[in-house]
Amino acid sequence: MSANIIKTWRQMPTSERREAIAGYLFISPWLIGFLLFTVGPMLFSLYISFTRWNIVGDPKWVGLANYERIFTADKDFRQALLVTFSYAAIYLPLSTIVGLAMAMALHLKLKGVGVFRTMLYLPYVVPSIAATLVWVWVLNGRFGLVNTVLAWVGIEGPNWFGNPRTALYGIVMIGLWGVGGSAVIYLAGLQNIPEHLYEAALVDGATEWQKFRFITIPMLSPTIFYLLIMGLIGVFQTFTSSFVATGGGPLKATFFYMLYIYNKAWESLRMGYASALAWVLFAIILAFTVVVFRSSALWVHYEAERD
Amino acid sequence: MFNFSKINGRSLFTTVRGYTILILFAIVFLIPFYWMFATALKGDDQLFQIPPAWLPNPAVWDNFAQVFREVPFGKFLINSTVLVIWNVFGQVLSCTLVAYSFARLRFPGRNILFFVLLATLMIPRQVTLVPQFILFAKLGWVNTYLPLILPAFGGSPFLIFLMRQYMMTIPLDLDAAATIDGANRLQILRHIIAPISMPAIVLVAVFTFTDVWNDFMGPLIYLNDPDKFTVTLGLSFFQGAKETSWDLLMAGALMAMIPPMILFFIAQKRLLGGLAAAGIKG
């Protein structure tokens, strides 16, 4: 197929040439935007990551000094990485389980299930800052909803965002509130599983669990895979909830990587160092994505026709 | 082997179980909304009761008006609306043009360029955030809306991808017939492809609306002047100033989430279907 696309400009008949010119013209908004707002800034960012620069004056070339400091001396970097990874380790499995459970509930053939779908999706469209404010209040140690409910069963709830041991779980809850966004995608995946597979399983006397384990999970694995990748990228960009709820505290317990970049660039105006941090993060995300992609051969099941 | 299907009343059991699970989910996910609403209607004296009251008594509806008196919330609403309109306009225009080209025109390098477009989906925002800020700062555009509007005119890769997938499903014969009638490509796009692609265009508009309305980091980085703040930035500004006025904060948060919610209710069928399609194809 690609062989006949490679045709030199001169060999093209006029009509094809005109179509090609139109084609380039039509994509030019994206192409210009891509060069101006993505490629240009990325190259520039790579350059200034080797400099010291507070945005006024000229960048001062420091070679690998920023990177060296990040990997050898920077305690904040390690803390930010630790927080972000801990969050990923708690949030990603939970959002997969809760999102899948929600999708399966929404997949039941019951009257009025569409109303539930709407209700459960609703928190996902709430602006992150509003969601964060709601949860800061809901998780308030003394006047919050969660601790009020916990008090009914005799548990004294913690001061969630004021306690370094629980603050991260507060952020996890803010994230999980929007899990309806993943649930509708899982739901679409569930709806695409052919009914006859379950019917066949029923004939074979399979239990509910066996149907779930040997039909639902394999058939849904491409969706799980997709949401895992998107979730991974999203986790590393977590910013608003920690910025607003805790400012990274207490004791840097919610000091997310993105917050660190923000502090370096916009609080201390260290553009070079912030850029180096961003590139290190990019490399980490890339490495993780590659690992997930590689591992997908082991657990993601694609239908034969897609191979 | 124990088999549920042999039990009479199995369907009753699964129905009851199903609704129980759904209702539990709904309670857990909707109660924060109720809590927010109840708090927004509480007076100062009711805010810090232990245990907190479930029903505000009396309900202080004036809290919503008070938000407008404490901060220029009306201005924030207008600012957010202006940004949303420009962004929707830019995204719809660019995404339609670019997606049309990728979906229906042939030109050398098209597949490579489309692959590049898809690859940019993987570039995390933080890598371009700092240098983009420097670019706009050097242009003297900090504290203006330009940095928050212009990039929309480049089209978002994700939305271009969505629209291209949609346009791929329209038969090419339509273009050919229109060409024979003497229509040029812009006319074909405007009078044939765009009207057919309306569902995708609506999807792009809705996504852009929510993204821009909900964006916090962009305004935080680029806007300094409280008069230019968006609703989201205004809320955080409000929170910084009024840490203990949770009644007003909740009233503000509630008002901030109403526009995207209304939009969601109007467009939900299309939105959920489109999201699902994007999920599967991704």
Alpha carbons A188 and A191: distance in angstroms, whole number: 5
CB-CB contact of A88 with A235 (8 Å): yes
Q: Phi and psi dihedrals of A51, rounded to 5?
A: -130, 170
Q: Quick check: A147 and A141 in contact, CB under 8 A?
A: yes
Which chain B positions have a beta carbon within 8 Å of A20's beta carbon? 105-108
Same domain, A296 and A256: yes
Measured between alpha carbons, how far is A95 from A89 in angstroms, rounded to an integer? 11
**One domain, residues A24 and A102:** no
Smallest Cβ–Cβ distance between A233 and the set B26, B116, B124 belongs to: B124
Residue B125: its pLDDT value, please?
Answer: 80
pLDDT of amino acid A143: 86
DSSP B227: G
Q: Residue A60 domain-assigned? A: no
Output the pLDDT for position A298: 83
Partner-chain contact A127 B36, CB within 8 Å = no
Structure token pair of residue B197 = 């692609």
Look up the CATH number of the domain holding residue A265: 1.10.3720.10
A–B CB contacts, 8 A cutoff, strictly below: 286
pLDDT tens digits for range A5-28 = 555 677 788 888 888 899 999 999
Q: Is A58 helix (H, G, I), strand (E, B) or coil?
A: strand
Distances in whole angstroms, Cα of residue B112 to Cα of each of A12, A268, B109, B115, B118: 19, 40, 5, 5, 10
Taking CB atoms and an 8 Å limit, are A33 and B154 in contact across chains? yes
Alpha helices in chain A (DSSP H): 2-5, 14-34, 40-48, 65-72, 75-106, 113-121, 128-138, 145-152, 167-177, 180-191, 195-203, 208-211, 217-236, 240-245, 257-262, 271-299
| Nearest-by-Cβ selection for A239 from B217, B235, B282 | B217
In a domain, A133, yes or no: yes
A14 falls within a domain: yes
Domains of chain B with CATH codes? 4-62 (no CATH), 66-281 (1.10.3720.10)
A124 CB-near residues (< 8 Å, 6+ apart): A178, A179, A180, A181
Residues A181 and A255 in one domain: yes
Give domain status of residue A201, yes or no. yes
The minimum CA-CA distance between B178 and chain A, rounded to whole Å, is 15
> Do the chains contact at A137 and B111, CB–CB below 8 Å?
no
**3-class DSSP state of A59:** strand
Q: Token pair of A151, please? A: 């008090």
Q: Residue A250: is the preceding peptide bond cis (ω within 30°)?
A: yes
Choosing among A18, A26, A267, which should be mutated to test the B contact, i.e. which has the most B CBs within 10 A? A26
Which tens digit of pLDDT belongs to each residue from A257-307?
999 999 999 998 999 999 999 999 999 988 888 888 888 888 888 764 444
| CB contact (8 A) between residue B101 and residue A123 | no
| B128/A42 touch (CB, cutoff 8 Å), yes or no | yes
Are residues A119 and A263 both part of a single domain? yes
With an 8 Å Cβ cutoff, are A5 and B97 in contact?
A: no
Q: Are residues B272 and A110, on separate chains, in Cβ contact within 8 Å?
A: no
Chain B residues within an 8 Å CB radius of A256? none
Regarding whether A27 and A91 lie in a shared domain, the answer is no
Q: For A147, name the nearest residue in chain B, comparing CA atoms only.
A: B51
A128 Cβ under 8 Å from any chain B Cβ: yes
Q: Do B154 and A36 touch (CB under 8 A)?
A: yes
Interstrand relation of A51-54 and A56-61 (parallel, antiparallel or unpaired): antiparallel
Contact B159, B91 (CB under 8 A): yes
Give which of B159, B50, B141 is closest to B99, Cα–Cα: B159
Chain A residues touching B47 at Cβ < 8 A:
143
Both A21 and A151 in one domain: the answer is no
pLDDT band at B274 (very low <50, low <70, confident <90, very high): low
Quick one: CA torsion of A258, A262, A268, A273, rounded to 10 degrees? 60
- Determine the residue of chain B that is closest to A258 in CA distance: B126
Contact call for B256 and A226, based on CB within 8 A: no
Do A35 and A122 lie in a common domain?
no
Decide: B163 and A30 in contact? Cβ < 8 Å. Answer: no
Distance (Å, whole) CA B56 – CA B45: 11
Look over chain B and give the mean of its residue pLDDT values, rounded to a whole number: 87
The count of structural domains within chain A is 2
B183: region left, alpha or beta (phi > 0 left; psi from -120 to 50 alpha):
beta
Range in B52-61, B165-174, B187-196, B238-247 with the lowest mean pLDDT: B238-247
**Per-residue confidence (pLDDT) for residue B6, from 0 to 100:** 46
Plot region of B31 (φ>0 → left; ψ -120 to 50 → alpha; else → beta) = alpha
The span from the CA of B143 to the CA of A261, in Å, is 21
Contact yes or no for A92/A238 (Cβ under 8 A): no
Asked if A158 and A243 sit in the same domain, the reply is yes
Cβ A102 vs Cβ B25: under 8 Å: yes
Domain match, A205 and A298 both:
yes
Answer with the residue of higher pLDDT: A274 or B199. A274
pLDDT, residue A53, reads: 92
Same domain flag for A277 and A144: yes
- What are the φ and ψ backbone dihedral angles of B69, each rounded to 5 degrees? -80, -35
Is-contact A15 B139, C-beta < 8 A?
A: no
pLDDT score for B1: 44
Cα angle value A53/A55/A57 (rounded, 5°): 80
Interface check B265 vs A, CB under 8 A:
yes
Are B25 and A121 inside 8 Å of each other by CB?
Answer: no
* Cβ contacts of A38 within 8 Å, gap of 6 or more: B120, B123, B128
- Nearest by CB to B151, which of A27, A37, A181? A37
How many C-beta atoms lie closer than 10 Å to residue B27's C-beta?
A: 11
Q: Give tens-digit pLDDT for B105-142.
A: 989 999 999 999 998 888 888 889 999 999 999 899 99
Nearest Cβ partner of B132 from A19, A37, A140? Answer: A37
Asked whether B246 and B47 are in contact (CB, 8 A), the reply is yes
Is the CB of residue A134 less than 8 Å from the CB of residue B35?
yes
B36 burial (CB, 10 Å; 0-12 / 13-18 / 19+) is buried
Task: Work out the minimum CA distance from B203 to partner chain A, whole angstroms.
Answer: 14
What distances in angstroms separate CA A236 from CA A160, B5, B131, B179, one per listed residue? Answer: 22, 46, 19, 48
Mean pLDDT comparison of B84-93, B106-115, B246-255, highest-scoring range: B84-93
Q: Is the pLDDT of residue B281 over 50?
A: no
**Quick one: A25 and A87 in the same domain?**
no
Phi first, then psi, for residue A209 (nearest 5°) are -65, -40
Would you say residue A61 lies in a domain? no
Q: Are residues A91 and A40 in the same domain?
A: no
Report the distance separating Cα A116 and Cα A103, nearest Å.
11
Tokens 């503000």 label which residue? B252
The answer to whether residue A261 sits within a structural domain is yes
Low-confidence ranges of chain A (pLDDT < 70): 1-8, 303-307
Tens of pLDDT, residue by residue over B13-58, are 888 999 999 999 999 999 999 999 999 998 888 888 777 888 888 8
Please give the pLDDT value at position A54: 87
What pLDDT was estimated at residue B184? 87
Contacts of B271 (CB under 8 A, 6+ apart): B203, B206, B264
Distance CA A194, CA B147 (A): 47
A197 touches chain B (CB under 8 A): no
Note whether residue A111 is domain-resident: yes
Q: What pLDDT does B7 receive?
A: 47
Task: List all residues 6 or more positions away from A233 whose beta carbon is below 8 Å from its beta carbon.
Answer: A285, A289, B122, B124
Give the domain extent around A279: 71-306
